[in-house]
């Protein structure tokens, strides 16, 4: 099975090398790595180009202006040729070298359409200190549940049938996509009960009061679009759970 991993970036020179290395060092051989750059003006492009030869033709790279992170992800999806597709942010890393091998093994065990796992938030500068964990738990449709998006790997047919990211949402388009997939009821999910991604704490949806507020409002609109009952109450519960995990269970 071929796995496409998509990384989108813009002026990510401080972090993208670690991201690339975490893909390069994977033990699973049949990986297509797609890097979609938004016409960076720092040294991001130079870093990517440095690693192209080391992937032996498995890294596909394009740099062009886009309309934001989800437009860039959609362009990456259009380039993807894998049977399984995952998205790794340019400031995140795969937690160990056999992550993709384990994901593919789970897809093969008894055919599933989606595999997800747990996520560890690390300090923004060094990625060495854990600040909190996102324990996804078993598949559920209660309270607009969703897995941590950076750990989610979907079969190609899911994207073909469900569609790509809705770029009207600037922070929560990944949440919208996951809700569409979950609420369709058509797909079989599998949970890997282990940490597979280290994510820097402080990104677009996790850093600062303004980001929290924007994410909250975007999530409300996503819930309304997906016909979630009592969206304000549900989102309040989700937000309280987030702060509990971040500041009490750290």
Q: Are 93 and 18 in contact (CB under 8 A)?
A: yes
- Closest residue by Cα to residue 66 from 6, 8, 16, 149: 8
Q: Tens digit of pLDDT per residue, the chain (250 long)?
A: 999 999 999 999 999 999 999 999 999 999 999 999 999 999 999 999 999 999 999 999 999 999 999 999 999 999 999 999 999 999 999 999 999 999 999 999 989 999 999 999 998 888 888 888 888 888 877 767 789 999 999 999 999 999 999 999 999 999 999 999 999 999 999 999 999 999 998 655 455 566 666 777 888 888 888 888 887 787 777 666 655 555 544 5
Give CA–CA dist 6/89, Å, rounded: 8
- Closest residue by Cα to residue 162 from 96, 113, 227: 113
Taken in order 176, 180, 183, 187, the sign of the CA dihedral is: negative
């Amino acid at each position: 099975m071929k796995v496409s991993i998509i990384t989108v970036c813009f002026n990510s020179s401080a972090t993208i090398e670690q991201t690339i290395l975490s893909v390069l060092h994977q033990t699973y051989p049949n990986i297509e790595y797609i890097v979609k750059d938004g016409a960076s003006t720092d040294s991001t492009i130079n870093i990517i180009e440095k690693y192209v030869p080391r992937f032996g033709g498995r890294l596909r790279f394009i740099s062009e202006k886009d309309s934001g992170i989800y437009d860039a992800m959609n362009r990456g999806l259009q380039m993807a040729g894998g049977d399984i597709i995952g998205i790794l942010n340019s400031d995140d890393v795969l937690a160990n070298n056999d992550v993709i091998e384990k994901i593919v093994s789970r897809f093969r065990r008894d055919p599933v359409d989606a595999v997800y796992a747990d996520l560890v938030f690390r300090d923004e500068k060094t990625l060495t200190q854990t600040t909190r964990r996102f324990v996804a738990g078993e598949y559920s449709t209660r309270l607009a549940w969703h897995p941590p998006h950076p750990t989610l790997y979907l079969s190609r047919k899911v994207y073909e049938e469900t569609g790509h990211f809705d770029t009207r949402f600037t922070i929560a388009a990944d949440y919208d996509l996951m809700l569409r997939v979950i609420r369709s009821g058509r797909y079989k999910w599998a949970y890997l009960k282990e940490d597979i991604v280290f994510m820097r704490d402080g990104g677009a949806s996790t850093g600062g009061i303004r980001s929290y507020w924007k994410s909250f409002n975007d999530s409300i609109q996503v819930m309304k679009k997906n016909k979630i009952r009592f969206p304000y109450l549900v989102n309040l519960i989700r937000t309280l759970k987030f702060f509990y995990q971040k500041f009490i269970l750290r």
